[in-house]
């Protein structure tokens, strides 16, 4: 909805806030956002209607930031629009730098960056009778669901019961474990479908995880990106820290593999393109499967206000339809196009030390022979 917001529908105020608390309950966002608001008022002072609309939206944004429903949230992105009687508020697990942007469309870069920088994984910790499902992102983990079922213990005193009775007990135990695995797999499926996840991480003993994996539906079993040895013991926070760490590692592995694939294809000279204008072209042609970009793309682009074609160099009139072009945030425009086309988008942060050819690269759909 935010990406699709059209220009020409009046004013949009985008607010990013650091809502983590210092000391008691004093908000960090108050003074810096008041300062930003003063600057906006100065800029639009000669247009009383705009000032009035700005104050209306600001009031709604402030209400949202102060509302009890968002207490304990570390970051908030709140958007107000001239045509909306309510704001759109999005909570974040990390604080945003305080910012107030007034434009004709929502300013989404900080929000998209935060989403893409910390991809979501589903982490499943399990043994033979109890499991926990976490949403794991680099730097954070959140318990989504947990499950525990009655499974008889393994009979280790084999000296007393032999033969048939022993076998019956063992078979009953196996059935109970299988039942538990199936229930857990069902819960995993529900969690998987609730959000967009980048992959599944399994934690536990290898042999148990192998058996559980066999009970996952094929479409989920394919998504397992990592298996991590973990004994069911210790404090909860320790497990969550580990899950968050594993998510960071999985993300880095994936980023390296992605860039290796870009490099391989560049050498082959097929199914890849690099650089903003080339990527824009490929997006417009519906050829992009995966988009990879880094942090240094804060450039300005030019967008046709009629056919919405996007250019990296200044174009006063669109070369295609001759309509006027206006300045736009190149980065946000490319991202919006990619997300609207359901392209798999990857952001590679600067601190990984990884370099992207052309600052932005796209893996293209391969032309498959018809008989394949």
Q: Say how far apart CA 59 and CA 54 lie, in whole Å.
A: 9
Distance (Å) of CA 55 to CA 12, 50, 81: 12, 9, 12
d(CA 48, CA 53): 9
Residues found in the chain: 372
d(CA 240, CA 135): 10
Q: Is 309 in the site for Zn ion (CB under 5 A)?
A: yes
Q: State the nearest-atom distance from the C-beta of 311 to Zn ion, in Å.
A: 10
255 vs 309, beta carbon nearer Zn ion:
309
Tell me the C-alpha distance between 324 and 205, whole Å.
62
List 21, 307, 317, 350, residue binding Zn ion (CB under 5 A) = 307
Least Cβ distance, residue 328 to Zn ion (angstroms): 13
- Which of 167, 214, 300, 321 binds Zn ion (CB under 5 A)? It is 321
Q: Which of 35, 45, 300, 320 binds Zn ion (CB under 5 A)?
A: 320
Q: Minimum distance between the CB of residue 322 and Zn ion, rounded to whole angstroms?
A: 7
Pick the piece of the chain touching Zn ion (CB under 5 A) from 196-204, 278-286, 299-307, 355-363: 299-307
**Under rule CB under 5 A, residue 318 binds Zn ion:** yes
Count residues contacting Zn ion (CB under 5 A)?
8
Quick one: 11 or 304, whose CB is closer to Zn ion?
304
Range 90-109, binding Zn ion (CB under 5 A): none
Neighbour-count burial of 357, counting CB atoms closer than 10 A to its CB (0-12 exposed, 13-18 middle, 19+ buried)? middle
Strands 325-329 and 140-148: unpaired
Which H/E stretch holds residue 202? strand 199-204
Instruction: Using the rule CB under 5 A, give the single segment among 44-52, 269-277, 278-286, 298-306 that binds Zn ion.
Output: 298-306
The binding site for Zn ion (CB under 5 A) comprises 304, 306-307, 309, 318, 320-321, 323
């Amino acid at each position: 909805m935010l990406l699709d917001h059209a220009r020409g529908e009046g004013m949009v105020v985008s607010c990013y806030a650091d809502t983590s608390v210092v000391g008691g309950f004093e908000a960090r966002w108050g003074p810096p956002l008041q300062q930003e608001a003063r600057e906006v008022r100065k800029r639009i002072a000669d247009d009383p209607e705009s000032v009035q609309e700005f104050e209306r939206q600001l009031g709604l944004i402030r209400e949202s930031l102060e509302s009890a429903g968002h207490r304990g949230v570390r970051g908030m992105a709140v958007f107000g629009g001239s045509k909306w009687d309510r704001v759109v508020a999005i909570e974040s697990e990390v604080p945003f730098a305080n910012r107030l942007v007034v434009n004709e469309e929502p300013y989404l870069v900080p929000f998209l960056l935060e989403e893409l920088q910390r991809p979501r994984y589903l982490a499943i910790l399990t043994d033979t009778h109890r499991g926990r499902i976490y949403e794991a992102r680099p730097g954070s983990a959140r318990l989504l669901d947990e499950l525990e079922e009655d499974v008889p213990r393994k009979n280790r005193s084999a000296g007393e019961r032999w033969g048939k009775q022993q076998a019956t007990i063992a078979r009953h135990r196996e059935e109970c474990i299988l039942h538990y695995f199936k229930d857990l797999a069902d819960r995993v499926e529900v969690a998987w479908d609730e959000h967009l996840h980048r992959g599944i991480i399994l934690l536990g003993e290898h042999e148990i995880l192998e058996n559980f994996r066999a009970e996952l539906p094929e479409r989920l079993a394919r998504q397992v990106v990592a298996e991590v040895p973990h004994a069911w013991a210790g404090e909860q926070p320790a497990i969550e820290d580990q899950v968050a760490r594993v998510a960071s590692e999985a993300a880095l592995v994936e980023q390296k593999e992605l860039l290796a694939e870009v490099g391989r294809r560049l050498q082959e000279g097929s199914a890849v393109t690099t650089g903003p204008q080339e990527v824009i072209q490929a997006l417009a042609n519906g050829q992009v499967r995966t988009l990879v970009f880094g942090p240094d793309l804060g450039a300005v682009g030019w967008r046709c206000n009629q056919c919405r074609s996007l250019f990296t160099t200044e174009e006063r009139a669109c070369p295609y339809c001759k309509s006027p072009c206006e300045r736009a945030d190149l980065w946000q425009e490319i991202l919006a196009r990619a997300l609207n086309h359901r392209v798999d988008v990857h952001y590679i942060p600067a601190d990984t030390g990884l370099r992207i050819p052309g600052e932005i690269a796209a893996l293209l759909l391969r032309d498959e022979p018809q008989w394949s």
